[in-house]
Amino acid sequence: MATDYLGVASALVALVAAFALSRRIDNLSDHLLGLRQLVSTVQETQSEQRRILAELNLLQKALPDLQELGRQLAEARNRQIDLADSVSIAKLSTELGLMQAMEASVAQMKDEQVRIIEMLEDWRADFRSAATDLAKLEPLMK
C-alpha cells in the first residue's frame, strides 16, 4: 500500500512539474508573441524601444527558470525510476509469495482429488457388488 502512495506521489510530482513547465512555456510563448508584434510595428521612438527592452528582460528572466525546471524534472524522473524499480521488486516478491501459496493450495487440491478418486473407486466396487447381488436375487424374485 505504501508503494502505491509512492507511485502516486511521484506521479503528482511529475504532473506538477509538467504543469509548471507548461505554464512557463505558455508565458514564454506569450512574451515571444508580444515581442514579434512590437518588432513588426516598431517605430523609431524611444518609448517603443523601451517596451521592446522590457519584453526582452521578461524573456531573459524566464529562460533561467526553464533551465532550473528542466533540471528538477530530470531529478524527479530519476527518483520516479528508482521508485518504480523498488516497487517492481516488492511487487515481484508479493507475486512470488502468492504463487507459493497457490502452489500449496494446488498440492492440497491434488491430494483431495486423489482421496475422492479412491472413494469413488470404492463406491464403484460396492455398486458392482450390489449389482451382482441383485442379479443373483433376480431369478429368485420371479
Cα–Cα distance list, 46 to 42, 43, 51, 82, 123 (Å) = 10, 8, 9, 55, 110
Confidence of residue 49 (pLDDT cuts 50, 70, 90): confident
pLDDT digits (tens, 9 = 90+) for 6-34: 777 787 788 888 888 888 888 888 888 88
**How distant, in Å, are the alpha carbons of 28, 40, 57, 65 from that of 33?**
9, 11, 14, 19
Q: Domains in the chain, start-ordered, CATH in brackets?
A: 2-141 (1.20.58)
Q: Tell me: the pLDDT tens digits for 60-77?
A: 776 766 777 788 888 988
Does the pLDDT value for residue 42 go beyond 60?
A: no
Higher-pLDDT residue of 39, 33: 33
What amino acid occupies position 22? S
All 3 cell numbers of residue 73? 524534472
How many CB atoms are located within 10 Å of the residue 10 CB?
Answer: 19
Give residue-wise pLDDT tens across range 79-129: 888 877 776 777 778 888 888 888 888 899 999 999 999 998 989 888 888
**1 falls in which pLDDT band (50, 70, 90)?**
low
At residue 45, the 3 state secondary structure works out as coil
Q: What φ, ψ does residue 135 adopt, rounded to 5°?
A: -65, -35
**Any idea how long the chain is?**
142
The answer to whether 17 and 80 are in contact (CB under 8 A) is no
Q: What pLDDT, on a 0 to 100 scale, did the predictor assign at position 118? A: 92
- In order of 23, 31, 48, 61, 63, the CA distances from 57 in angstroms are 18, 10, 14, 6, 10
Average pLDDT over residues 40-66: 72
